[in-house]
Amino acid sequence: MSIMEIFKKQTALPEHFRTMSEEELCDYVTEIKAELGTKLYMPGHHYQKDEVIQFCDDRGDSLQLAQAAERRKEAKWIVFCGVHFMAETADILTEDHQHVILPDLRAGCSMADMADIHQTERAWEKLNDYFGDTILPITYVNSTAEIKAFCGKRGGATVTSSNAAKMVKWALDKKERLLFLPDQHLGRNTAYDLGIALEEMAVWDPISETLLTEGPINQIRIILWKGHCSVHEKFTMDNIETIRTEEPDRRIIVHPECTWEVVQAADYKGSTKAIIDAIDNAKPESKWAIGTEMNLVNRLIKEYPDRSIISLNPNMCPCLTMNRIDLPHLAWSLGEIRKQHIHHKIKVKDETAYMAKKALDRMLVRA
Ligand code: 13P
Ligand code: SF4
């Protein structure tokens, strides 16, 4: 389904939920959660707002949430506090009697929107003309179910930021080349760590439908889709230089969705989970600049007051689509469930789900 079709299905938040106080909304959510018990499951991504995450049954990164959703067989209602591709993944991994609800359908992901299935099919045709049957497609979970199905159908798999290295290695054992969708930075950073030189990587531009490369095309092993995260791309070399000049003892840790230059210049890089673990294991008084989403950075600042934590970019803001899930929308969703009314349900077509699950399963058995 295109992003416009998804937006059209979104209905406006009823006036009633706009006028309730925060306290009333919290009481309302708490009451319905208690009423529904284990029939309701609410997973929440680490980038969610505090007002939402406080009610989630589990917090996690995209890999942990996919695994958690699969385990909760008794939940009839899965209210996903995250973005659209995560809710789709939950729907694919859960059973038919389970309903996955996204409280606000506008909670998309700008990166996932950078690769649609039609662009991918056209790219595949052209890349096969260049390289023959030597390419395996793999996709970051931050992608539509249709792209996951595309990969599943062709023997490929999904990856997340916490298992990308393992999955790229697996994929390169199977085929000579990879098409890595849709985040060029995660693809480049991961392949580089595995010893693949930048000259062995090319970028596929889905708009001009051209392969961008400086070297001879027969040396290319990784084809990176020209997509990126609009949040993580905002961490720059200027931000790094400022920290190095003003506070040389402050350690810099960034998410691998940041550019290759920023990742190389940082002290450490790691997935959402790895960043949280690094701060958790850090010494009191240690100083950190973090290059990832702001709701998470602000939470780490609050939860670890004895460490000095700042954002690598002082002008950073949260992921705007993650922020679409707020307390009023969450309360509205739970109120609809109480009335046994299904709204903002995420349902992936059976045929797509079947193939997408193949791609997800190839990752989950190795996670
Ligand atoms: P992870 O949760 O896999 O680290 O991904 C980060 C992200 O951008 C989620 O949208
Ligand atoms: Fe998408 Fe980036 Fe937001 Fe993650 S942080 S949901 S990749 S836009």
Contacts of 47 (CB under 8 A, 6+ apart): 82, 272, 293, 295, 296, 318, 319, 322
Closest CA to 92 of 342, 348, 345: 348
pLDDT in tens, 282-334: 999 999 999 999 999 999 999 999 999 999 999 998 999 999 999 999 999 99
Q: Which domain holds residue 23?
A: 3-108+321-349
Beta carbon of 239 within 6 Å of any ligand 1 atom: no
Residues 53 and 117 in one domain: no
Alpha helix (H) ranges present in the chain?
3-9, 15-19, 22-36, 50-53, 62-71, 84-93, 117-131, 145-153, 164-174, 184-193, 237-246, 260-265, 272-281, 294-303, 327-338, 350-364
Among the candidates 202, 229, 256, a domain finishes at 229
Q: Is residue 303 part of a domain?
A: yes
Residue 101 and residue 343 in contact, taking contact as beta carbons nearer than 8 Å: yes
- Cα 10 from Cα 8, distance rounded (Å): 5
Among the candidates 229, 264, 296, a domain finishes at 229
Beta carbon of 311 within 6 Å of any ligand 1 atom: no
> The tokens of 323 are what?
């922020």
Residue nearest to atom 3 of ligand 2 (CA): 319
- Cα 41 from Cα 33, distance rounded (Å): 9
In ligand 2, the atom with minimum distance to the C-alpha of 110 is 8
Residues 155 and 88 in one domain: no
Distance 225 CA to ligand 1 centre (A): 17
Q: Is residue 361 part of a domain?
A: no
Residues 131 and 67 in one domain: no
Radius of gyration of the chain (CA): 21
Contacts of 244 (CB under 8 A, 6+ apart): none
Beta carbon of 258 within 6 Å of any ligand 2 atom: no
**Banded model confidence at residue 62, pLDDT cuts 50, 70, 90:** confident
Contacts of 275 (CB under 8 A, 6+ apart): 253, 255, 290, 292, 296
Q: What is the reported pLDDT for 2? A: 62
In ligand 2, the atom with minimum distance to the C-alpha of 319 is 3
Residues 176 and 252 in one domain: no
Q: Is residue 291 part of a domain?
A: yes
pLDDT in tens, 244-257: 999 999 999 999 99
Residues 345 and 326 in one domain: yes
Distances (CA, A) of 35 to 38, 43, 298: 9, 18, 32
Give the whole-number percent of the chain exceeding pLDDT 70. Answer: 98
Residues 116 and 224 in one domain: yes
Question: How many domains is the chain built from?
Answer: 3
Nearest ligand to residue 319 Cα: 2
Residues 165 and 202 in one domain: yes
Q: Is residue 266 part of a domain?
A: yes
Distance 44 CA to ligand 2 centre (A): 14
Instruction: Name the pTM for this structure.
Output: 0.95
Residues 213 and 252 in one domain: no
Among the candidates 177, 201, 229, a domain finishes at 229
DSSP assignment, residue 61? -
Distance 20 CA to ligand 1 centre (A): 32
Contacts of 310 (CB under 8 A, 6+ apart): 250, 288, 289, 290, 297, 301
Pocket-testing residue among 81, 102, 142, 322, ligand 1, by greatest number of atoms within 8 A of Cβ: 142
Residues 238 and 298 in one domain: yes
Mean pLDDT of 207-217: 94
Q: Is residue 306 part of a domain?
A: yes
Beta carbon of 319 within 6 Å of any ligand 2 atom: yes
Q: Is residue 360 part of a domain?
A: no
CATH number, domain of 275, equals 3.40.50.10800
Residues 191 and 276 in one domain: no
Residues 88 and 160 in one domain: no
Least confident residue range of 67-76, 105-114, 190-199, 232-241: 67-76
Going by their DSSP bridges, the two strands 77-79 and 251-254 should be labelled as unpaired
At 46 the three-state DSSP class reads coil
Q: What is the reported pLDDT for 70? A: 87
Q: What is the reported pLDDT for 1? A: 61
Beta carbon of 163 within 6 Å of any ligand 2 atom: no
